[in-house]
Amino acid sequence: MDGLYLIDKVLDHVRRDSDRTALVWVNAKGHEERSFSFGELDAAARRLASTLLNEGIARGDTAVLCYTPGVDFYIAFWACLCAGIKAVPVSPPLTSSDLKRFLTIYTSSGARVVLTDKLFTRLLTMKMRKHKAMRVGKGIAAIFKGTAAKSSGVTFGDLESLWWITTSALSDHGNACPLIPADPHETAFIMYSSGSTAAPKGALTSLANLRHQFEVIEAACGSSPDHVSCWWAPHFHDFGLISGFLNCLHQGCTSVITSPMYFIQRPALWLEMIHNFKATHTFGPDFGYLLMLRKTTREAREAGKWNLRTLKVAMSAAEKVRHTTLTDFADAFG
């Protein structure tokens, strides 16, 4: 098995049809915001991979990928695979409980660096400044009271000592990273559990694992460069990352992606994506199909507002699969 198996598949798609659309990012209104052809995605990722290696990250190092929803994550993840850097996708820490989980994952994965985007960098800067101001305020209050300032446990100030690299726009310039074969059974990236019931646990994923998974998906759903797959599952979840993004790269088909926050705010967005981009495949958890039932009207459905005739597969997974949800959805949108 070739150590560049998945990368070679993408390079083959680039050679065959560099201009074929690989990824489309959809905004909250259901319109295309950014898109990349296979040639553009490959070039951007390999330029970023070269930049990361030049920054001092070594092949075999581990990087935590802390991104808000958007294309920056997908470029960075693919860059890590090209550079031989073990990626650890995580949800950005926004609260104290998120912060504890984030630091647990950073430590247990043995990460050297955190990669992120401009949006989260700005948010993190504000939170760090707020923490410093509060710490100074508490220190002054303690002096006047003649007591010692109390520690507040884990804070956003604890993130300041980590090595952060903001990758937004870093993929615009530079030379492409040379591709070096690796052992297909070595860890390519690490997916962590949510940590909602216990400490987050990491699943070590190799290229050999991915190859097997793609074969299973192909047997179940078919595989063709002509397919268009759309979803809103989070990029740090294996449903969105593996069943979605990486499987589409493997097939050579088009990914149409939006933010889970956009979908939660307006569930009809999912239907608009299928309609507007003529999706052949889509997937989501049970509650997503329920939301589309509850947040759309019978009048809108019967008026043919959303044409779903291009769909070949609508997959339900990642939580309990309920037969009533599937039948109700099929009846409502049939």
pTM of the model: 0.90
Give me the torsion for CA of 267, 268, 269, 274, rounded to 10°: 120
- Dist. CA 72–CA 290, nearest whole Å: 30
Identify the pLDDT of residue 198: 67
34 by DSSP, 3-state: which? strand
Q: How many residues does the structure list for the chain?
A: 334
List, run by run, the mean pLDDT of 10-residue segments along the chain (334 residues): 76 93 96 96 95 95 97 96 95 88 94 96 84 54 53 77 92 81 88 75 91 90 90 93 94 96 96 96 95 92 89 91 94 89
Q: Report H helices in 84-117.
A: 96-109
149 by DSSP, 3-state: which? coil
Identify the pLDDT of residue 248: 95
Q: Are 279 and 257 in contact (CB under 8 A)?
A: no
Q: Are 43 and 49 in contact (CB under 8 A)?
A: no
